[in-house]
Amino acid sequence: MAIISVGIVILFLTSWLLIMAAKDMLKHGMHKLVWRFFTGHAMDGKFRTNATWTQRATKVTHPTGRVLRWHHLARFHRMWIRWAVVITFLVLSYSAIVNWRITLLLLACFVTGGLITLAVYATHKTRQWYNNRTVVIPMAHGLEGLLSLTTSEIVRATTLDEGYLTQSSGKFGQVELPKSFRAAPEDRVSVEHYIKSRIPRDVEFQWVTKVPKPRLEFHAEPQPVGTVLFDRYLELMEDCKPGEVFLGLDNRSGQPYYGSFNVDDPHWGASVGSGGGKSTWLMSLIAQILHNDPTATAWCIDPKITSLLALQGIEGVRIENNPRKVPDMWKLVEELKDELFRRLDAQEADPTLEFSMALLIIDEINSFAAMTKKIWGKEGNKGVADVWGDIAFILWMGRVVNIHVVAVGQRLDDKSTGNIGLRDSLGFRALSRYKKNQWDMLFSGKFQQAHKKKGQWIYESGDELVWVQNVIADLDPNENGRIIRDWALMGRLKANRKDAKDKNVSTM
């Protein structure tokens, strides 16, 4: 009786499958269906995830954002599962005719497999219940007002993958949004902040709203790259064109990230909190410019005295770092402005002239601005100090004669640049250890929380935002400065040797 019942079930399923197959056959063609079936592809030929032949899916590409777990499997796995089903069906059919005892044995194996599957399903549901109880339901209570949904609706709309706490990349969950959801940017920030406070792991958000079923996806935040040591990337620095600088590695892709002064908007500005690696960053970019362009110069203002001390004495580097002699810092800027006009006059006489790079480096620009204001007023002057006018000339006209400004401070606001709108001339910008108001002052993109790891900066060039682990020579400050200094001197030494060789050749 049991065999007859199983036979009826198998016959029913077979008939149903044949009917469905006939419909698909008329629509797609027999050859396509056979190929898709035995190669693990979806029978309708559509891709629902980014799963490959050997890798599980990390992203859902279907507009709804929700597909069966089957489509997350690697295509190779799906292929063999289908092969196994077909072979099992054929073996069962053959054994039922030749030896019914074998059929009973196989059915017993199927029952055992079914029980195991049921146990796995029960475990999955138990985990889902636990996640709902500890994470999703408390989160739903706080999101009620923000999403205009009830707690139960949010719970039903929220999914978290098993193992979401340890997933290293890709999407691990989502919450479906009401079709009428139209949140302002500040409301989205509030939603993200609340969800981050409830999900016990680092998470990135992706708002998918231009689809029939809008959703907010949860993605695993990529693990940051390790320390980027200077001596491992010397070849990349050597290959840079004059005016280009290797800054570090892209935190998401691990690929080298470069900054360039050879662009239409070439001046740089960085707002970095205390201990964020400003000094190393400045020394590294100066050393690379000097190494690859032996005639380049760096005109440096260093109110902190010691930030750029390692570069003191290198040919082409001038540093004013005495906070008791602020007018000497002004004089340095004035002399660079005079050099700017000499170059402009020379270019007017000969438009084909090309000039070596000159960098105006202003470290701790907040301190410099405060000292300038105090000394300027103490000397009986009123209004804006002349030095800001000199810096303005360099910012506005320096690009055409290869003179550029790099300004770094703990808070790069308008006050730190003389209150005359100079900050807007800083086209390539960087942030680290910042607050939201600092982000709003410098960046136009959606606010992102600051990373805690030292040396991790976010750069904005045009509309592109990139997190980068900056290059560092050594964790020991003294050794760090020595290695960077040696790189700058190496370029100068190599140029001097080349000049000497050229002179010897010319006198032979």
Q: Residue-wise pLDDT tens for the chain (508 aa)?
A: 555 565 566 666 666 655 655 555 555 566 676 767 767 777 667 777 877 877 777 677 776 666 777 677 787 777 777 777 777 777 767 776 776 676 677 777 777 877 887 887 777 777 766 777 777 788 888 787 777 778 888 888 888 887 777 777 788 888 888 877 766 777 787 888 888 877 887 788 888 887 778 888 888 877 777 889 998 999 999 999 889 999 999 988 889 999 999 888 889 999 998 888 899 999 999 999 999 988 999 999 999 888 899 999 999 999 999 999 999 999 999 999 999 999 999 999 999 999 999 999 999 999 999 999 999 998 888 889 999 999 999 999 999 999 999 999 998 888 888 888 888 889 899 999 888 888 888 888 778 888 878 889 999 877 788 999 999 998 888 999 999 999 988 876 665 555 544 444 444 4
The neighbouring-strand residues paired with 218 are 173, 205
Ordered structural domains, the chain, with CATH: 228-498 (3.40.50.300)
Closest CA to 451 of 284, 121, 149, 222: 222
Give me the residues paired with residue 470 across strands: 248
What would the two tokens of residue 286 be? 């100066």
Q: Cα–Cα distance between 213 and 66 in angstroms, integer? A: 10
CB-side neighbour CA atoms (13 Å) of 132:
15
69: tokens are 């777990």
Take residue 195 and report the two structure tokens written for it.
């969800």
The DSSP code for 294 is T
Amino acid identity, position 193: H
CB 51 within 8 A of CB 75: yes
Joined tokens for residue 382: 């009123």
Q: And the tokens for 203?
A: 């998470």
Please give the sequence-ordered ranges of beta strands (E in DSSP) within 317-427, or none if there are none: 317-320, 358-362, 403-409
**Contact, 245 vs 258, CB < 8 A?**
yes
Q: Whose structure tokens read 């000397």?
A: 379
Q: At which residue do the structure tokens 């074998």 appear?
A: 102
Element (H, E) at 109: helix 100-131
Q: How far apart are the C-alpha atoms of 106 and 189, rounded to whole Å? A: 56
Which element (helix H / strand E) includes 496? helix 477-507
Can you tell me the distance from the alpha carbon of 245 to that of 258, in angstroms, rounded to the nearest whole number? 5
What is the C-alpha to C-alpha distance for residues 491 and 480, in angstroms, rounded to an integer? 18
pLDDT value of residue 501: 46
